[in-house]
Amino acid sequence: MPKKTYVIRDTDGRYYRSFCDNFFTTAPCDILVTDTEDSLKARRFHSLIRATYRARSLSKKASNYYYVYEAIDKEVGQNLILRNKEVIERIRENDSETMIKVEKAIAEWKMKHGLNCMYI
Could you report the per-residue pLDDT of 62-102, keeping only the tens digit for each? 878 888 888 776 554 445 666 667 777 777 788 788 888 88
Packing angle, helices 85-112 and 48-61, rounded to 10: 20
Is residue 25 within 8 Å of 32, Cβ to Cβ?
A: yes
- Tell me the pLDDT of the chain averaged across its residues: 77
CB 22 within 8 A of CB 61: no
pLDDT for 77 equals 46
What's the pTM?
A: 0.61
| Average pLDDT of the segment spanning 6-20 | 84
Q: Name the E strands within the chain.
A: 5-10, 15-21, 31-36, 66-71, 80-82
pLDDT at 76: 47
- CA–CA separation, 81 vs 37, rounded Å? 18
Helix (H, G, I), strand (E, B) or coil at 88: helix
